[in-house]
Chain A
């Protein structure tokens, strides 16, 4: 029986980098996409934030102040926090660091390819790191890129010049 979750592309990070582009994955074939980020690990032991920006139809990373997001941050050793922002230049996910801790994330992306709609995202993430005590932090979030434009891909990047050297990012189309 044919499945309606269709694999599109996987990108593996195997050497040190501060960003990775997953380009030419959104097309007119699907309206909704499923992303998974697994085995995400930094080179060093100090945490860095991982974020997402979209890539427009010309191949340019969308860096304008057009992103809104909100997520519930759940932490094993700290108070939970409500994180919200408007008019930012990215969608913010969480902190990550070096193995054996690491991070994983799944996300749905809605309407990226439509030139007449904003692009929406929801996600669930979990990360573990060791900065003193072992710390588990999960996020459940939503986000939007507020430009009615066609989006063909996305970029995952870190923010603190603390590159990552392991990750597998996979994209699937959720076929209607």
Chain B
């Protein structure tokens, strides 16, 4: 990967916003694989998840076509499988909140976003310091089961606003 990561879009949140969009009018369709980095993402309401939707023609796709499969790693208790189908969004972060150091960090690799004849899917490598004061994370992936091209992703909290965080979209140079 060294020497091949090209920044396309970045949003730095320093005050409350309802959602964050990467891509849209800033999307660059010249890549096959994209990387999304989330750093120090915090929310305004306690014990809420960070969600994601893909952008289709720059608008969030709210259709019930998101599937997920992950292993949830937990430093304080037994691991669990996290899977579901036909959701209207996909889970990214754990139950974060306003507690000190509570935050979500993650890296995702996006595939097939420019291909109108295939599904859009992604890997997910995420960790959160939760409102409850423990470390949980996801290792796995998600898919939007619609054959369509998309041009970005939108992040929003389950409830309340995103208070802070750096959201960055990169292309992997061919």
Q: Are B2 and A144 in contact (CB under 8 A)?
A: no
Interface string of A131-147 (1 = CB under 8 A from B): 00000000011111010
Chain B interface residue count, CB cutoff 8 Å, equals: 38
Q: Are A110 and B6 in contact (CB under 8 A)?
A: no
Q: Are B134 and A68 in contact (CB under 8 A)?
A: yes
Q: Are A108 and B76 in contact (CB under 8 A)?
A: no
Does B40 lie at the interface of the complex (its beta carbon under 8 Å from any beta carbon of A)? yes
Interface string of B27-40 (1 = CB under 8 A from A): 00000000001011
Q: Are A5 and B40 in contact (CB under 8 A)?
A: no
* Chief secondary structure at chain A's binding surface: strand
Q: Are B5 and A122 in contact (CB under 8 A)?
A: no
Q: Are B135 and A143 in contact (CB under 8 A)?
A: yes
- Chain B residues whose CB sits within 8 angstroms of the CB of A176 once the complex forms: 7, 10, 12, 37, 39, 166, 168
Q: Are B166 and A70 in contact (CB under 8 A)?
A: no
Interface string of A63-101 (1 = CB under 8 A from B): 000001111100000000010111000000000000000
- Least CB distance from A112 to B in Å reads 12
* Chief secondary structure at chain B's binding surface: strand
- Least CB distance from A148 to B in Å reads 7
**Contact partner, A110, options B12, B40, B136, Cβ 8 Å:** B40
- Chain B residues whose CB sits within 8 angstroms of the CB of A85 once the complex forms: 75
A7 — nearest CB in chain B belongs to which residue?
Answer: B2
- Whether A68 touches B137, Cβ cut-off 8 Å, given contacts A3-B3, A5-B4, is no
- Chain A residues whose CB sits within 8 angstroms of the CB of B125 once the complex forms: 108, 122, 124, 140
A118 — nearest CB in chain B belongs to which residue?
Answer: B101
- Least CB distance from B128 to A in Å reads 9
A61-B1 Cα distance, complex, nearest whole Å: 29
A108 — nearest CB in chain B belongs to which residue?
Answer: B107
Pairs of residues from A and B, 7 with the lowest C-beta to C-beta distance, nearest first: A142-B137, A70-B73, A5-B5, A142-B127, A68-B75, A82-B79, A110-B105
Given contacts A82-B73, A140-B139, 12 further A-B contacts (CB under 8 A): A1-B173, A5-B1, A70-B137, A84-B74, A84-B76, A110-B40, A122-B127, A140-B125, A143-B135, A144-B127, A176-B7, A176-B39
